[in-house]
């Protein structure tokens, strides 16, 4: 009977950081349905945000995070993120992780959308995720078991506690299971995500009875390279941080009169501005002509442009928004515990509340580092669970035998009806479309007879339905969730929040007196 202290599902940064901080204390097995190199973390061009400069302070980073998150954030979780982030990064640097720096060793700190300070660390120019994942994989080599190309099909729950996982090949038991499977960007036709990121962990958790929240908050990255009608790859926000600007077909600045921060406005604002032009039949370009040595500064992006025949010398890159990040996910506390005992979640699959309604740029890698370490700390104190493996059979027994849609049909439905802008009619259309595939039966059925492709489709259906129904329930516009039928709500909550912040400030000043 295969058994471990801790099973981690997923191979991205949050998973590896959890294992890195845990492997000296517990026997850890990591499962990936493909390889760790096929994750969003590996693809991450942008950097890690942290208040490391003398001019910066965690409180500035805290406020920027709340503003970008439309004040929907869990403020205590944000404090944890921005206060522990610098410490965790410096620990990794001391262990050998290298970020871009000048000859004297001072970090090159970049600036991205909605940040008030230059606080973004990069590695390899635009290969930060790859650098950190490679570093952690090397540190874990021979110290943890990594099982590749084996999909988790079910969580095993016994007397209300998660005690293991089931794959096509076997059942594996553990004292704790950690879901670190990433988000759900590939549910959309245009996406920056790795093809493997299809909402698997969220569907697994929901099927096991765990609570999920804030699924309506999907961030669309404003600048995906757009070639022959397809979004083919991400153009990092760091490019705009170095001075690039969005322009229309006739060369006019798109963001000049849209937002005070113009091209570095929060991502939801920029994505909607681009989307508004595209639906009118216009094209939008990212003007990079002012950035010297672009290919040296952004080698990954330059290589991508070359491979798709886009000439960077003319200074204009065609762009379109694409699904990028899920702010919601599996409900967890500050230590990664879900509502199911024995089950933890970390990274994009989890909802810590740090991102609110819209993630601040370069906070995702930071979240994986900070909360991966915190989950490991909680698991170090996790005791042995007494259970009989042969009794842990609380699995669904009714097979699902109804026809399923294709992945492409799901992606089209999500992009057209649950995309950058939404309304009740389009969301209702999507909800009815999803429910024709018997979502309730999918949640409770035995999926053991399904093949790899069918399992992916089931996860996409469950997660897509969760996003759609959540978006229907939230009638206000906020952050990454924008309702065309309630656009005025944006200004209403902003005014309410500003009034509240003023009251808080007055109370603090009065208290000091």
Q: How far apart are CA 114 and CA 266, in angstroms?
A: 5
Nearest to 486, CA basis, from 477, 495, 478: 477
Q: Which two tokens stand for residue 141?
A: 């080599």
Burial 215-237 (b: 16+ CB within 10 A, else e): bbbbbbbbbbbbbeeebbbbbbb
Nearest to 460, CA basis, from 425, 433, 420: 433
Terminal alpha carbon distance of the chain:
65
Q: Which helix (H) or strand (E) holds 351?
A: strand 350-351
| 324, 193 Cβ separation under 8 angstroms | yes
267 has catalytic annotation = yes
Q: How far apart are CA 220 and CA 402, in angstroms?
A: 33
CB atoms within 10 A of CB 256: 12
Question: Would you give the distance in Å from CA 457 to the centre of its chain?
Answer: 20
Nearest to 21, CA basis, from 178, 183, 204, 181: 178
Exposed/middle/buried for residue 377 (C-beta within 10 Å: 0-12, 13-18, 19+): middle
Q: How far apart are CA 473 and CA 353, in angstroms?
A: 19
Angle at 480 between CA 474 and CA 482, to 5 degrees: 55
Beta bridge partners of 176: 6
Helix 364-380 and helix 128-140: axis angle, to 10°?
Answer: 20
Strands 245-248 and 120-121: unpaired
From the candidates 119, 151, 267, 483, which is the catalytic residue?
A: 267
| 210, 248 Cβ separation under 8 angstroms | no
Beta bridge partners of 227: 230
Q: How far apart are CA 262 and CA 64, in angstroms?
A: 16
Q: How far apart are CA 267 and CA 224, in angstroms?
A: 12
Q: How far apart are CA 204 and CA 210, in angstroms?
A: 9
Burial 273-290 (b: 16+ CB within 10 A, else e): bbbeebeeeeebbbbbee
- Enumerate the active-site residues: 267
């Amino acid at each position: 009977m295969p058994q471990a202290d801790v099973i981690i599902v997923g191979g991205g940064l949050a998973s590896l950081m959890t294992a890195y901080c845990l492997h000296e204390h517990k026997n850890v097995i990591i499962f990936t349905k493909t390889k760790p190199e096929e994750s969003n973390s590996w693809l991450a061009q942008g950097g890690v945000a942290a208040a490391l400069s003398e001019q910066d302070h965690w409180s500035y980073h805290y406020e920027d995070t709340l503003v970008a998150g439309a004040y929907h954030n869990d403020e205590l979780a944000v404090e944890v993120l921005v206060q522990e982030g610098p410490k965790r990064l410096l620990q990794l640097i001391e262990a050998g992780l290298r970020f871009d720096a000048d000859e004297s060793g001072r970090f090159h700190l970049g600036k991205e959308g909605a940040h008030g300070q230059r606080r973004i660390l990069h590695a390899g120019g635009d290969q930060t995720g790859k650098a950190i994942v490679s570093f952690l994989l090397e540190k874990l080599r021979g110290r943890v078991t990594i099982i590749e190309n084996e999909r988790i099909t079910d969580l095993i729950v016994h007397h209300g506690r998660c005690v293991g996982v089931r794959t096509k090949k076997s059942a594996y038991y553990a004292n704790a299971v950690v879901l670190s499977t990433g988000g759900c960007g590939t549910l959309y036709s245009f996406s920056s995500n790795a093809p493997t990121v299809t909402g698997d962990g969220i569907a697994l958790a929901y099927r096991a009875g765990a609570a999920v929240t804030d699924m309506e908050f999907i961030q669309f990255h404003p600048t995906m390279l757009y070639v022959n009608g397809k979004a083919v790859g991400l153009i990092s926000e760091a490019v705009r941080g170095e001075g690039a600007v969005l322009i229309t077909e006739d060369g006019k600045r798109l963001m000049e009169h849209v937002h005070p921060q113009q091209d570095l406005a929060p991502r939801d604002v920029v994505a909607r501005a681009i989307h508004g032009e595209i639906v009118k039949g216009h094209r939008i370009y990212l003007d990079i002509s002012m950035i010297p040595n672009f290919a040296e500064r952004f080698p990954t992006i330059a290589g991508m442009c070359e491979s798709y025949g886009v000439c960077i010398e003319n200074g204009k890159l065609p762009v379109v928004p694409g699904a990028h990040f899920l702010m919601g996910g599996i409900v967890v506390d500050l230590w990664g515990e879900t509502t199911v005992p024995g089950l933890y979640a970390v990274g994009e699959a989890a909802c810590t509340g740090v991102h609110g309604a819209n993630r601040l740029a370069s906070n995702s890698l930071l979240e994986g580092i900070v909360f991966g370490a915190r989950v490991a700390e909680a698991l170090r104190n996790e005791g042995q669970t007494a259970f009989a493996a042969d009794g842990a059979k609380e699995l669904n027994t009714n097979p699902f035998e109804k026809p399923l849609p294709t992945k492409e049909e799901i992606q089209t439905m999500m992009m057209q009806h649950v995309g950058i802008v939404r309304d009740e009619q389009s969301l209702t259309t999507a909800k009815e479309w999803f429910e024709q595939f018997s979502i309730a039966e999918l949640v409770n059925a035995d999926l053991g007879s399904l093949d790899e492709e069918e399992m992916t489709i089931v996860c996409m259906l469950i997660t897509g339905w969760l996003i759609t129904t959540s978006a229907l329930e939230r009638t206000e516009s906020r952050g990454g969730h924008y309702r065309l039928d309630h656009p005025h709500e944006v200004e209403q909550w902003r005014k309410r929040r500003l009034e509240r912040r003023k009251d808080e400030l007055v109370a603090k000043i009065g208290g000091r007196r």
